C-alpha cells in the first residue's frame, strides 16, 4: 500500500483530479443508465434506444483527433473546468422532454456531451504525467481505471432509482450537480500550466497551422515501432469491444439461457473485479515494468474471455459466467494501467493530446467495424466462434507486447520540427 499512499497522500493536485473524475463519472453512469431506461419507456422502440449509441460514438469518430490538437494548445486545467461547466449547462434541455415527440432533445444532449468529452479526456490523460512522479505513473493510471469501475457500480444503481423517482428532470439535475462539484475540485488544483505565447497569425495561417498539427498527430500515431504497436493494439481490441457489445447479450440469452436480469448482473459483476484489480495494479505498479504489466494483463484477459465463451459447450450453468466476469476485472485493470503508462512514456507534453485524440478516433472507428462485423458474422458463423475470436485478439496482443517489451521501453516520440 506504500505506492497508493505515496500518490494519494502526497500528490494533492492528483487527488483532487481523481476525486473530480470519480464524481463526474458517477454522474455519467447515472445519466447513461437512466436515459436508456427513459428513452425506451417514452418510445417503446429499441431503434430509438440504439440511436443513443450512435449519438455518443459519432463525435469520437469525427471530432476526436482534431480536439486533441486544441487540447495541446490550451491550458489543460482550464479545459477541464470549462468542459465540465458546459456539460452541466447542456443537460438542462432534458427538463423539456416529456414524451416521444421531444425525444430529439435527448439525442442533441448526448451528442453535445460526447463532443465535449473529446476535449476533456485528452486534457485529463495529458495532465496525469505532470501531476505525479514518473515512478508513480502506473499507480496513478491504475487508480484512474479503478474509479471508472466504482463509478459504474454507484452511478448505474443511482440512475435506475432517479429515473423511476423523477424521470429525465431528476437525472439531468443530478448529473449537472456532479459536473459542478467536479469544477470546484479541479479549480482548487494548484498546478498552473505555462505555455509560450504563439505568434500572431492571419486567419489563413491559423488554419494552415491547425491542419499541420492535426496531420502531425496522425503521423505521430505510427511514428515509431513502439507507438505503432500501441496504435495497432488499440485498433484490434477496439474491434473486439464492438463484437463484445453486440454479441454478449445474445450469448447470455441463447448460449447459457439467462434473462435480462441475469444479463445485467453479469455485466455489472465485472466492475467488482475491476475495483479489486485497480487496487492490486496500484499496489504493485511501481515494482513491475509497465509493458510487462500490460502484456500479462492482456494475455490473462484474453484467456479468461476465451474460457467464458467456450464453457457453454460443456455446461449451461450461469455461475461460470459470473466467475469469469469478476475474475477478468483484475487483468483488465492491469492492462489499462500498463498500456496508459507506456503511452504516457512514449509521448511528450505538447503532443500527447493530439496523439491521444487521434488514437481514440481510430479506436472508435474500430469499434463500429466490430459492431458491423458481429452483426453479420454472428448469424453466418455463430455467436461463440466470433466471441472466441475477440478473446484470442487479446491473447495474441498480450504475447506480442511481452515479446516486444524492450521496444516499448523507448521514451517519448520526438516533437514536430
pLDDT at 388: 93
Question: Over the stretch 219-241, which tens digit does the pLDDT of each residue have?
Answer: 777 778 888 899 999 999 999 98
> 16: closest CA among 265, 190, 203?
190
Residue 5 vs residue 185, higher pLDDT = 185
Q: Which position has the higher pLDDT, 80 or 154?
A: 80
**146 sits in which H/E element:** helix 137-187
Tell me the pLDDT tens digit for each residue of 305-319.
Answer: 999 999 999 888 889
The reported pLDDT for the residue numbered 69 is 81
Mean pLDDT throughout 78-85?
92
Cell 450537480 maps to which residue?
177
**Measured between alpha carbons, how far is 351 from 332 in angstroms, rounded to an integer?**
27
Asked if 338 and 138 touch (Cβ cutoff 8 Å), the reply is yes
Cell of 21: 473524475
Residue pLDDT, tens place only, 382-410: 889 999 999 999 999 999 999 998 888 76
Q: Which residue has the higher pLDDT, 414 or 18?
A: 18
By the 8 A CB rule, do 102 and 381 touch? no
pLDDT at 357: 80
Instruction: Render pLDDT for 11-38 as a digit per residue (tens, 0 to 9).
Output: 788 889 889 988 988 888 888 777 766 7
pLDDT at 194: 57
pLDDT of residue 253: 80
pLDDT at 85 over 80: yes
Indicate the Cα dihedral angle 351, 362, 146, 227, nearest 10°.
-50
pLDDT in tens, 325-379: 888 888 988 898 888 888 888 887 777 777 888 888 888 889 888 888 887 888 8
How many CA atoms does the CB half-sphere of 36 hold within 13 Å? 12
Q: Which residue has the cell 465485472?
A: 270
Is the pTM here over 0.85, yes or no?
no
- Please calculate the CA angle 165-168-173 and round it to the nearest 5 degrees: 90
pLDDT of residue 403: 92
Is the predicted pLDDT of residue 67 greater than 70, yes or no? yes
Q: What is the dihedral of CA 345, 351, 353, 357, to 10 degrees?
A: -100
Q: Taking residues 34-46, report their average pLDDT.
A: 69
74, burial (CB in 10 Å: exposed 0-12, middle 13-18, buried 19+): middle
Q: Quote the pLDDT of residue 356.
A: 81
Please write the tens of the pLDDT for every residue from 236-282.
999 998 888 778 878 888 888 877 667 767 777 777 777 777 777 77
In this prediction, residue 415 carries a pLDDT of: 45
Using CA atoms, how far apart are residues 61 and 228, in angstroms rounded to an integer?
Answer: 19
* Helix (H), strand (E), coil (C) string for 201-222: CCHHHHHHHHHHHHHHHHHHCC
Residue 416's pLDDT is 46
DSSP state of 74: S
Q: 3-class DSSP state for residue 35?
A: helix
pLDDT > 90 in the chain, percent = 18
Residues 64 and 368: their CA atoms lie apart, in Å, by: 15
If one compares 202 and 250, the residue with the highest pLDDT of the two is 250
Q: Mark 112-140 as b/e (b = at least 16 C-beta within 10 Å).
A: bbbbbbbbbbbbbbbbbbebbeeebbbbb
386 touches 282 (CB < 8 A): no
pLDDT digits (tens, 9 = 90+) for 131-175: 888 777 888 887 887 788 788 778 777 776 777 777 778 888 888
pLDDT at 414: 47
pLDDT in the model for residue 86: 94
Amino acid at each position: 500500500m506504500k505506492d497508493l499512499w505515496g500518490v494519494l497522500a502526497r500528490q494533492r493536485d492528483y487527488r483532487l483530479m481523481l476525486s473530480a473524475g470519480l464524481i463526474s463519472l458517477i454522474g455519467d453512469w447515472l445519466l447513461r443508465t437512466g436515459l436508456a431506461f427513459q428513452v425506451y419507456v417514452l418510445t417503446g422502440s429499441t431503434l430509438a434506444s440504439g440511436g443513443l449509441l450512435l449519438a455518443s460514438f459519432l463525435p469520437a469518430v469525427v471530432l476526436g483527433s482534431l480536439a486533441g490538437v486544441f487540447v495541446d494548445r490550451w491550458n489543460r486545467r482550464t479545459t477541464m473546468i470549462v468542459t465540465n461547466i458546459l456539460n452541466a449547462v447542456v443537460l438542462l434541455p432534458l427538463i423539456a422532454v416529456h414524451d416521444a415527440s421531444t425525444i430529439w432533445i435527448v439525442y442533441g444532449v448526448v451528442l453535445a456531451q460526447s463532443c465535449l468529452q473529446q476535449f476533456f479526456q485528452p486534457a485529463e490523460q495529458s495532465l496525469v504525467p505532470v501531476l505525479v512522479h514518473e515512478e508513480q505513473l502506473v499507480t496513478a493510471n491504475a487508480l484512474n481505471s479503478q474509479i471508472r469501475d466504482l463509478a459504474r457500480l454507484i452511478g448505474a444503481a443511482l440512475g435506475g432509482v432517479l429515473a423511476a423517482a423523477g424521470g429525465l428532470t431528476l437525472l439531468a439535475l443530478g448529473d449537472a450537480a456532479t459536473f459542478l462539484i467536479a469544477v470546484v475540485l479541479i479549480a482548487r488544483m494548484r498546478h498552473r500550466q505555462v505555455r509560450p505565447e504563439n505568434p500572431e497569425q492571419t486567419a489563413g495561417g491559423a488554419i494552415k497551422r491547425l491542419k499541420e498539427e492535426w496531420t502531425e498527430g496522425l503521423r505521430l500515431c505510427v511514428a515509431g515501432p513502439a507507438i505503432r504497436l500501441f496504435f495497432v493494439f488499440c485498433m484490434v481490441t477496439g474491434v473486439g469491444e464492438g463484437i463484445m457489445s453486440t454479441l454478449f447479450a445474445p450469448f447470455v440469452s441463447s448460449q447459457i439461457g439467462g434473462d435480462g436480469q441475469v444479463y445485467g448482473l453479469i455485466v455489472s459483476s465485472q466492475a467488482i473485479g475491476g475495483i479489486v484489480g485497480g487496487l492490486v495494479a496500484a499496489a504493485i505498479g511501481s515494482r513491475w515494468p509497465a509493458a510487462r504489466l500490460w502484456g500479462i494483463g492482456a494475455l490473462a484477459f484474453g484467456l479468461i474471455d476465451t474460457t467464458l465463451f467456450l464453457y457453454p459447450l460443456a455446461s449451461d450453468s450461469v455461475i461460470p459466467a459470473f466467475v469469469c466476469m469478476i475474475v477478468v476485472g483484475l487483468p483488465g485493470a492491469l492492462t489499462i494501467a500498463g498500456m496508459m503508462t507506456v503511452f504516457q512514456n512514449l509521448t511528450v507534453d505538447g503532443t500527447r493530446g493530439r496523439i491521444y485524440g487521434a488514437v481514440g478516433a481510430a479506436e472508435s472507428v474500430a469499434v463500429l467495424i466490430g459492431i458491423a462485423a458481429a452483426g453479420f458474422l454472428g448469424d453466418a458463423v455463430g455467436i461463440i466462434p466470433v466471441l472466441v475470436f475477440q478473446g484470442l485478439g487479446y491473447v495474441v496482443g498480450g504475447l506480442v507486447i511481452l515479446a516486444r517489451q524492450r521496444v516499448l521501453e523507448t521514451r517519448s516520440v520526438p516533437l514536430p520540427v
